[in-house]
């Protein structure tokens, strides 16, 4: 409505009319043109500050930090699967690579946090770049199964490379330094004379990195590489014919995706303080896939939404499993009523959520938002 009023008032073109390519790919336009985006940004910034300080206690912040860690990995997987169309069950392998990088260089050799986080990203990038060429030779279903094999090979490596990974029992990250300059996240940072807990500090660290990662990914997908990746997703043969280098962008997508995964793995290790091979199994890969499907394939925003929904929902069920409404479904111990254990119940929910979303809302949670947005944008001609 505002748009129409504007057009009547000025007689010029509608303010939503895009006149150039540069304008089309712009990240942010003036608040007058995209008010909701600005509201969203300001609200996020406010939540970023207010959630840890006023609203959520330390246990809740741990859950939210874990959501953020998953969000980083999910953004990576979405670059690969949602934007480039390469389905990978191997994400857990790259997450593991990052976690063990942090454990070895941070926990064992005492590198500083920026150093081992960067190294984790670099190792993820390189390992992804090594795996990437498989995607040139193999397509579709065959690629899926090869990446499935990658998870098992990875778990074998983590279980047997004792000197670095601590073998099957795992390795502690307790000794890993966690400070950037004067800010020590492990002891809790001090800002303006105020001391904060580990959970508060870590929440800021993780969600700061989520914002950074989302911005990087957004820049990637709105510029030339992103267009090339989406062309490959839609039909790789046609993309090749119009001059997109499959080798460059498929391998690049794998490399970037696993760099994200590795950073997520490193942060995961830091939050858990301990990593062992069983954690980086097929279940983790599928959790990541579930997140991007539920959140929305091919949207950065959806990856974050999916991570919040899946991990947040899971934690919520875990905390409330003793409540009366879950009694017929979840058993909290032997002799307690209920059909499923908590782990089984969560797995069944994952399964159902994946199936139902793919059947009824294949574009995921992000689609709800798009629908609301377009309803308001096209008002009063919404249909």
Partner 1 sequence: MLAAITGDDLLQTGFSGVALGCKYALIALGFSIIFKATGVINFAQGAFVLIGAYFTYHFTQTWSLNFYLSIVLAMAAGALVGIVIEALVLRRLVNEAPVTVIMVTIGILFVLDNVVTAIWGPDNRNLGDPWGVDTRELLGVTLADRDMWTIAFTGLVLVAFYFFFRYSTLGLAMRAAAVDPEAAMAQGIPARRVYRVSWAIAGMVAALAGTTLAAGSGQLSPATGALALVAFPAMILGGLDSPLGAVVGGIIIGLVQQYTALLAPEYFDWVGESFERVSPYLVMIVILLIRPFGLYGTREVRRV
Nearest residue to 68 via CA among 204, 172, 200, 253: 204
Binding residues among 334-353 for partner 1 as defined by CB under 8 A: 339-341, 344-345, 347-348, 350-353
Q: CA 33 → CA 14, 37, 382, distances in Å?
A: 10, 9, 19
Task: For residues 30 and 114, give the distance between their C-alpha atoms in angstroms, rounded to a whole number.
Answer: 34
Task: For residues 175 and 294, give the distance between their C-alpha atoms in angstroms, rounded to a whole number.
Answer: 36
Q: How far is the CB of 203 from partner 1 (least distance, A)?
A: 30
**How many binding residues for partner 1 (CB under 8 A)?**
47
Q: Note whether 63 and 271 are within 8 A (CB).
A: no
Q: How far is the CB of 304 from partner 1 (least distance, A)?
A: 20
Q: Identify the DSSP state of 275.
A: E
Q: CA 76 → CA 48, 208, 282, 297, distances in Å?
A: 22, 16, 17, 12
Q: Which is nearer to partner 1, 101 or 331 (CB)?
A: 331
Listed ranges 17-25, 95-103, 136-144, 214-222: which one lies at the site for partner 1 (CB under 8 A) = 136-144
Q: Is 134 in the site for partner 1 (CB under 8 A)?
A: yes
**In the set 78, 81, 84, 165, which binds partner 1 (CB under 8 A)?**
81
Residue owning tokens 């949602």: 82
Nearest residue to 255 via CA among 141, 135, 146: 135
Residue ranges of alpha helices (H) inside the chain are: 2-10, 21-24, 35-50, 58-77, 91-101, 113-131, 134-137, 140-160, 162-165, 198-222, 224-234, 236-241, 246-272, 282-295, 300-319, 342-360, 365-377
Listed ranges 64-72, 149-157, 270-278, 371-379: which one lies at the site for partner 1 (CB under 8 A) = 149-157
The rounded Cα 33 to chain-centroid distance in angstroms is 29
Q: Which is nearer to partner 1, 173 or 239 (CB)?
A: 239
Binding residues among 360-379 for partner 1 as defined by CB under 8 A: 362
Q: How far is the CB of 95 from partner 1 (least distance, A)?
A: 18
Q: Is 140 in the site for partner 1 (CB under 8 A)?
A: yes
Q: How far is the CB of 5 from partner 1 (least distance, A)?
A: 42
Task: For residues 104 and 221, give the distance between their C-alpha atoms in angstroms, rounded to a whole number.
Answer: 33
**In the set 1, 50, 153, 372, which binds partner 1 (CB under 8 A)?**
153
**In the set 43, 47, 122, 145, which binds partner 1 (CB under 8 A)?**
145
Task: For residues 232 and 196, give the distance between their C-alpha atoms in angstroms, rounded to a whole number.
Answer: 46
Binding residues among 264-323 for partner 1 as defined by CB under 8 A: 282, 286, 289-290, 293
Q: Is 164 in the site for partner 1 (CB under 8 A)?
A: no
**How many other β-carbons are positioned within 10 Å of the β-carbon of residue 66?**
21
Q: Which is nearer to partner 1, 167 or 177 (CB)?
A: 167
**In the set 359, 380, 381, 383, which binds partner 1 (CB under 8 A)?**
359
Q: Which is nearer to partner 1, 52 or 96 (CB)?
A: 96
Q: Identify the DSSP state of 27.
A: S
Q: Which is nearer to partner 1, 150 or 229 (CB)?
A: 150
Binding residues among 234-253 for partner 1 as defined by CB under 8 A: 237-238, 241
| Contacting positions for partner 1 (CB under 8 A) | 81, 85, 87, 134, 137-142, 144-146, 148-150, 152-153, 155-156, 159-161, 237-238, 241, 282, 286, 289-290, 293, 339-341, 344-345, 347-348, 350-355, 358-359, 362
């Amino acid at each position: 409505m505002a748009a129409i009023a504007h057009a009547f008032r000025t007689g010029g073109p509608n303010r939503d009319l895009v006149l150039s390519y540069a304008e089309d790919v712009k990240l942010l336009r003036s608040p007058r043109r995209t008010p909701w985006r600005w509201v969203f940004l300001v609200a996020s910034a406010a939540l970023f500050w207010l959630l840890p300080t006023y609203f959520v206690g330390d246990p809740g912040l741990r859950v939210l930090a874990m959501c953020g860690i998953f969000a980083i990995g999910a953004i990576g997987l979405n670059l690969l699967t949602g934007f480039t169309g390469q389905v990978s069950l191997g994400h857990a392998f790259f997450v593991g690579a990052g976690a063990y990088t942090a454990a070895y260089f941070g926990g064992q050799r005492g590198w500083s946090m920026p150093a081992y986080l960067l190294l984790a990203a670099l190792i993820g990038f390189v390992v992804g770049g090594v795996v990437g060429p498989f995607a040139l030779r193999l397509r579709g279903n065959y690629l899926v199964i090869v990446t499935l094999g990658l998870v098992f090979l990875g778990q074998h490596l983590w279980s047997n490379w004792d000197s670095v990974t601590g073998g099957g029992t795992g390795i502690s990250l307790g000794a890993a330094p966690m400070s950037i300059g004067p800010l020590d996240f492990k002891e809790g940072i001090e800002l303006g004379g105020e001391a904060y807990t580990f959970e508060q500090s870590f929440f800021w660290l993780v969600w700061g990195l989520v914002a950074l990662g989302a911005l990087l990914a957004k820049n990637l997908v709105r510029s030339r590489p992103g267009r090339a990746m989406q062309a490959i997703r839609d039909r790789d043969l046609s993309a090749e014919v119009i001059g997109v280098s499959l080798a460059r962008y498929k391998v690049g997508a794998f490399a970037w995706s696993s760099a994200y995964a590795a950073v997520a793995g490193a942060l995961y290790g830091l939050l858990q303080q301990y990593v062992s091979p069983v954690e980086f199994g097929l279940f983790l890969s599928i959790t990541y896939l579930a997140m991007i499907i539920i959140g929305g394939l091919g949207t950065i925003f959806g990856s974050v939404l999916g991570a919040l929904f899946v991990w947040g929902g899971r934690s919520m069920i875990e905390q409330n499993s003793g409540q009366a409404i879950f009694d017929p479904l979840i058993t909290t111990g032997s002799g307690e009523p209920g059909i499923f254990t908590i782990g089984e119940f969560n797995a069944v929910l994952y399964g159902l959520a994946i199936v139902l979303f793919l059947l009824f809302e294949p574009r995921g949670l992000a689609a709800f938002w798009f629908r609301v947005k377009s309803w308001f944008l096209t008002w009063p001609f919404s249909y």
